Copies of this chain bind each other. A is one copy, B any other.
Amino acid sequence: MADFVQSLARGLLVIRAFDADHPELTLSQVARITGLTRAAARRFLHTLVALGYVRSDGRLFALRPQVLQLGHAYLSSLSLPALAQPHLEKLAAQVRESCSMSVLDGDRVVYVARVPTKRIMSVTISVGTRFPAHATAMGRVLLAAQDRAWLDEYLAKARLERLTSRTVVDARRLRQELDVVRGQGWALVDQELEDGLRSLAVPVRGPRGVVAAVNVSAHTSRGNALAVRDDLLAPLQAAAKLIEEDLRQ
């Protein structure tokens, strides 16, 4: 494609070479992870240093907080998380469980707002965290809202990863689950993402359909799945309704 700016693609790849397992990288490591030559990796790293996105002590390179401004450009361009945040804060205070909002990105849910109360998952969830949609309550709500053609293609192609012994990994069964979710207007996922964790999610509807999902998560020590629905569905639906009202204004 003549229009494609290879240098931009490669530069973004260099940023994404850094992660929890590789917070600091040498030039050679960046070259290896990105598949770039050492000379090219050096040019991109030096550019990112000059722009303030990367710091270096001469040998090791690491990302600088300015990188957050790129993600922040996306977040601040969405009015939805800002608008949802106070409602999620009230909901979290009311039910004393963590609440979140996600949108769908391909076959993943991406957290765009989060009010944590206490840690119940093995990983820290923050804005930007991604999980496979099929194994999460918010993902099921968002998948159920997609049109038929999109869903057919997703179900035909998606690799439905088994994350716990309970994860639905069969496409036909997932389709049935999504039909149920679409019908009842909420999804409850019981330890399919992580053992010990249940999540209840409902859609947030805008003028042109579902725009996000909000959830409450709870540890299994709270009681059984039925208790989660009985205790948490009404407050969660009420919060979603308030968000939808704010959206219309």
Contact = CB atoms under 8 A, between A and B. Distances in A.
B12 A51 contact: yes
Interface string A1-40: 1011101111110011111101110000000000000000
A228 interface: no
Contacts of A48: 8
Number of copies: 2
Contact of A68 (B118, B119, B127): B127
B16 A65 contact: no
A196 interface: no
A74 B65 contact: yes
A47 B79 contact: no
B79 A23 contact: yes
A64 B51 CA distance: 23
Contacts of A63: 73-74, 77
A195 B222 CA distance: 40
A172 interface: no
B67 A73 contact: yes
A182 B231 CA distance: 48
A232 to B, nearest CB: 18
Q: Which of A4, A48, A62, A63 has the most CB of B within 10 A?
A: A63
A112 interface: yes
